[in-house]
Amino acid sequence: MRYIIIGAGAVGGTVGGRLAEAGQEVVLVARGAHAAALREGGLRLRVPQGELTRRLPVVGGPRELGVLRADDVLVLAVKTQDSEAALGTWGPAPVEGGGTAAMGVPPARA
């Protein structure tokens, strides 16, 4: 299982860092200067025990990542106003074996 953290800011970075610390495979999604900083210096978390640095893969979007694995977990950790755009970007991402990421999401209830 691989966790793809869409929005590697304060919340997403913390979740991704802790998952990586627990031995999980993690990919961070970030853009621009933030992505460059993560690639160059790694993800740094300040925790009660000190500072942790994790070097994790960083992508800008689904094209850079490639086809999603069937057991990938997408964690949406963007600001509310960016949610629609993130879902629009990641929803059509192809999944190995057929289908898209959005096909795995249960339909909304009215």
Specify the pLDDT at position 104: 74
Please write the tens of the pLDDT for every residue from 2-23.
999 999 999 999 999 999 999 9
How many other CB atoms sit within 10 Å of the CB of residue 104?
13
Which residue has 């629009």 as its token pair? 88
Question: H helices of the chain, where?
Answer: 10-21, 32-41, 62-65, 83-90
Is residue 108 over pLDDT 80? no
Please write the tens of the pLDDT for every residue from 63-77.
999 999 999 999 999
Specify the pLDDT at position 107: 66
Is residue 105 over pLDDT 80? no
Are the C-beta atoms of 35 and 61 separated by less than 8 Å? no
Task: Classify residue 109 by burial, with Cβ atoms within 10 Å: 0-12, 13-18, 19+.
Answer: exposed
Q: How many CA atoms lie within 13 A of 86 on its CB side?
A: 19
Please write the tens of the pLDDT for every residue from 19-50.
999 999 999 999 999 999 999 999 999 989 89
Largest pairwise CA distance in the chain? 46
Query: What's the rounded Cα separation, in Å, for the pair 41 and 25?
Result: 19
